[in-house]
Chains A and B, each alone.
Chain A
Amino acid sequence: MPDYKLKIRRFNPESGEPAYWSEYDVEVESERSVLKGILTARDDQDGSIGIRCSCQAAICGSCAIRINGKTALACNTAIGEAQAKAGPGNPIVVEPMNNMPVIKDLIVDMDAVHWKKVQRVIPWLLPEGAPPEREYIVPAESMIDITQSMACIQCGACVGACLALEADPEFVGPAALAKAYRFVGDPRDGQEKERLTDLAEDPHGMYDCTHCFACVEVCPKDVAPMNQIMRLRRRATNDFEIKDRNNGYGHEKAFVNLIEKYGTLHEAQLLPRSFGDGSLLKGQTEPGAVKELIESLPTAIRGLKSGKVSPRKALWHHKLPGQENVKRIFEEIESKDERLELNLYIVEEEPGEEQGAMAEGSQES
């Protein structure tokens, strides 16, 4: 069996000493997990290494830590791969998650951050009226849809990796917002609008996400919390016309409309149109845009001075050659009845692939 060197960040709250590093050499098969490596060190060398763990199968959500700087479950990260990432001759660096206070070694205070945020979103079903005699009749797709956020194991990896949370510790955060979508997207819940309004009005709510994809990248269960946040936003604006605090929806719409019209981005129109559909030249600008426009004047002047922008360029925007092809893309997408959601949960398979690796002619299912 290959040898690995684990470099574990330790912290003993009772010693009065700051965090320190301990190194352990362990013999583990390369396809076994980093957790197996840590437990081998604990079993054979130092029983005082603290780490929460239980199922060793990426289902209980106990063992989220940082491995070589990246948040992951220790139990489903192969130690051989972790070594490859660390580079030959380097130790595998193991640390507690970010964004949560460390209790001891690799154990962080999930209650103080993660669970507090989950509590924030009223994490239980609020149906309208008394339940039916039998089950609620709901579309099969809706249950599959929210099963993606139901697949969350509350490991907190996304919370540990969230960059917005690092900047704003009050941010409700990816896990709790994914949990919120589990109710908003559930046809049995009767408080969809109230939930969305609440999360929209909270300055640390769903508009605090900066689309950095960190949560999507680290989630061990493909919950894709950021996607759930985007779905919350789309439902809020499209279905309930709830005001977007950052005007992001208007911005996105202006962006899309300008591309449809010109094929490339008409930057001078982007800002005013983000606040309404009117043209800057025709004076059809929303009041909200005026403040933003004034604030961006220094940038515009700098652009003019340096010659990056000319008045002619700013006001007149040429159309992309072959603009009709761009239009065709828009028509194709807009002709679809349903809102298209990027759902990583269901992987589309190309039809007609060969089935039955061992069973010739056996097609029963």
Chain B
Amino acid sequence: MPQHDVLVIGAGLAGQRAALAAAEGGASVGIISKVHPVRSHSNAAQGGINAALNPEDSWESHAFDTVKGSDYLGDQDAIEIMCREAPEEILHLEHLGVTFHRNEQGKLGTRAFGGASAARTYYVADITGQAILHVLYEQLMKFGDQIDRYEEWFTTALVKDDNGRIAGAVTRNIRDGSLQLFTAKTVILATGGNGQIFDPSTNALICTGDGIAQAYNAGATLMDMEMIQYHPTTLAGIGLLITEGARGEGAHLYNAAGERFMEKYAPNKMELASRDVVSRAEQTEINEGRGFPDGTVALDITVVPKQRIHEALREIVMVGRDFAGVDITREPIHIKPGNHYVMGGIKTNVDGETDVPGLYAAGECACVSVHGGNRLGANSLLDTLIFGRRSGAHAAKVAKGMSMPTPAGEELNRERETIDAIVTRDRTGRRVSEIKAEMGAVMDKHCAVFRDDAGLRVALEAVKRLREEAKTVSVDDKGSVFNQDVLGALELQFMLDNAECIVTGAIERTESRGAQFRTDFPERNDEEWIKHINLTAGADGEPEISYSEATMTQWEPQERKY
């Protein structure tokens, strides 16, 4: 039975950064991931990471852009912390060896990004997330003595002690199928987002909202779950991401008539308005018949000099070539808005603490909230690193002052029974893949860029029915070694928990703010709705709704124009 001061679940940027910070704080650390850490979805963050590091820039400017981007739903105290600490974090990464782009003087160079009033995005070509993730993993290997890595271990549930404090987690070793109870003084969830609820999505197959569901089931509060970002530039059908960096480098958007339509929607920032604005503009063009027959608009990257494309947008050249059969240096590529990111998540304070004592959350699974109703591009990597580090440091400090807790006993057996039941059940109901496909289609239809009450209620009914159906799924794989089939069944249940919360929040918020646009309530309603929607698991299994005020420090709500 492994024991650690700090147990980190998830090994993307937030998890790895938390583990390193906790080790630096003197804690014994375990880090668990259901995939090898470098397979984590932080890899896919292409464009870069924001920081006001230039002397001419200021953290206040970065913070204001973030507040405005959030449509005034972000907590301004948390945003201030993130933007203040950003420059130091960039320098830290640079010192660890991240190969950030340099300017002609050999100093860190920047590119422009959406919703930002200055070019403050630091980057490594268009593989920024990958470059940082792999460098952090270098550090994880370096500190292998202090940080135990559990690679390809799947966490099924969180465990508390008799006083309701977190005490560890139940985890399955994917390689041999054994189930282990990990004991820990503090647990940090860094399990990423839940994009797989939607189909298509830019998110990887592993992004199934496991940690969000596990925290919810352990009594933690979820916040602003309705805030789902649709990224403006994804490939139709398969949902692959084309970085905002392409527009940052100067690429234009056109409708089928060849009009640069952003002139109508955001005359000042054009293609570099914030993501919710651009996605709505595109969807409006498509819905009103000005898109291409395949339900897309065109992204023209050919206006960017070719040498620059090869240097700065190399990944996109490959994506175009391999996945769309398009040479982006010579022709426009067809794109549409697609599911990308969840602004909401497990409610935390600025040190990553959740409502469950000893339980932390950081990164996409958490909601501090720095993104509010809409996340700015290149703020997600920053969020993972700043709040990953803060969670790790805080958890290490807390762990120092306490003894190892005693997990309440029954959790391990309960999880074993759940898994055994799935594996041994004969096939009577639907396949996991069928339920997942229906969920993905329903969510993308009714809970996307434009929403209304009627559609959302259709989605809620469907999700509730699918949750029932998911209780009787069976699997083909009856083995222990790499039984991915049974893990898929567990992930399906996590996804459906997430989906129910997303739709519940979307129904509840009867206004349009950030990524939530209600065609039946098209206006932002500052009188009633500058507040967070909190969800907890009720005794009857339904989400219970409450509210908390969004924190304001120095920026009063204004009309949002780009």
In the complex, what's the smallest C-beta–C-beta distance from B244 to chain A, in angstroms?
Answer: 16
Which residue of the partner chain, among A44, A60, A78, A123, contacts B41 with CB atoms under 8 Å? A60
Most buried by B among A123, A147, A186, A358: A358
B95 touches A136 (CB 8 A): yes
Q: Is A294 in the interface zone, CB < 8 Å from B? A: no
Segment 87-123 of B: residues with Cβ below 8 Å from A:
91, 94-97, 99-109
User: Could you name 7 residue pairs across A and B whose Cβ atoms are closer than 8 Å?
Assistant: A140-B106, A144-B125, A153-B130, A189-B97, A359-B303, A365-B250, A365-B305
A47 touches B432 (CB 8 A): yes
Q: Is B421 in the interface zone, CB < 8 Å from A? A: no
Q: Is B306 in the interface zone, CB < 8 Å from A? A: yes
Q: Is A5 in the interface zone, CB < 8 Å from B? A: no
Q: Which residue of chain B is the closest to A136 with respect to CB atoms?
A: B94
Given A140-B106, A153-B130, residue A31 in contact with residue B481 (CB < 8 A): no
Q: Is B141 in the interface zone, CB < 8 Å from A? A: yes
Q: Is B465 in the interface zone, CB < 8 Å from A? A: no
Which residue of the partner chain, among A119, A151, A153, A358, contacts B298 with CB atoms under 8 Å? A358
Q: Which of B68-76, B217-225, B311-319 forms contacts with chain A?
A: B311-319
In the complex, what's the smallest C-beta–C-beta distance from A168 to chain B, in angstroms?
Answer: 24
Q: Is B411 in the interface zone, CB < 8 Å from A? A: no
Query: Which residues of B lie under 8 Å from residue A349 when comparing CB positions?
Result: 306-307, 310, 329
Q: Is B476 in the interface zone, CB < 8 Å from A? A: yes
Task: Encode contact with A along B172-201: 1 for CB under 8 Å, 0 otherwise.
Answer: 000100000000000000000000000000
Most buried by A among B102, B258, B330: B102
In the complex, what's the smallest C-beta–C-beta distance from B497 to chain A, in angstroms?
Answer: 21
Query: Which residues of B lie under 8 Å from residue A153 when comparing CB positions?
Result: 38, 43, 130
CA distance A356 to B251 in the complex (A): 9
CA distance A309 to B107 in the complex (A): 61
Which residue of the partner chain, among B102, B142, B318, B488, contacts A58 with CB atoms under 8 Å? B318
Given A103-B482, A140-B103, residue A76 in contact with residue B322 (CB < 8 A): yes
Segment 119-176 of A: residues with Cβ below 8 Å from B:
119, 123-125, 127, 131, 134-140, 143-144, 146-147, 150-154
In the complex, what's the smallest C-beta–C-beta distance from A94 to chain B, in angstroms?
Answer: 16
In the complex, what's the smallest C-beta–C-beta distance from A36 to chain B, in angstroms?
Answer: 8
B308 touches A365 (CB 8 A): yes
Task: Encode contact with B along A298-327: 1 for CB under 8 Å, 0 otherwise.
Answer: 000000000000000000000000000000
Q: Which of A49-57, A193-201, A242-250, A251-259 forms contacts with chain B?
A: A49-57
In the complex, what's the smallest C-beta–C-beta distance from B123 to chain A, in angstroms?
Answer: 11
List of 10 A-B pairs having minimum Cβ-Cβ separation, nearest first: A43-B433, A125-B97, A47-B476, A48-B477, A47-B485, A140-B102, A131-B95, A349-B306, A124-B138, A54-B204
Q: Is B281 in the interface zone, CB < 8 Å from A? A: no
Which residue of the partner chain, among B260, B303, B488, contacts A365 with CB atoms under 8 Å? B303
CA distance A58 to B319 in the complex (A): 8
Most buried by A among B39, B142, B476: B39
Q: Is A37 in the interface zone, CB < 8 Å from B? A: no
In the complex, what's the smallest C-beta–C-beta distance from A334 to chain B, in angstroms?
Answer: 27
A146 touches B99 (CB 8 A): yes
Most buried by A among B35, B142, B323: B323
Q: Is B249 in the interface zone, CB < 8 Å from A? A: yes
Q: Is A191 in the interface zone, CB < 8 Å from B? A: no
A346 touches B481 (CB 8 A): no
Q: Which residue of chain B is the closest to A186 with respect to CB atoms?
A: B97
Query: Which residues of A lie under 8 Å from residue B241 when comparing CB positions?
Result: 57
A147 touches B99 (CB 8 A): yes
A144 touches B323 (CB 8 A): no
Q: Which residue of chain B is the closest to A360 with respect to CB atoms?
A: B258
In the complex, what's the smallest C-beta–C-beta distance from A114 to chain B, in angstroms?
Answer: 10
Other than A143-B102, A365-B250, give 5 A-B pairs with Cβ distance below 8 A: A50-B484, A61-B38, A104-B481, A104-B482, A144-B311
A355 touches B44 (CB 8 A): no
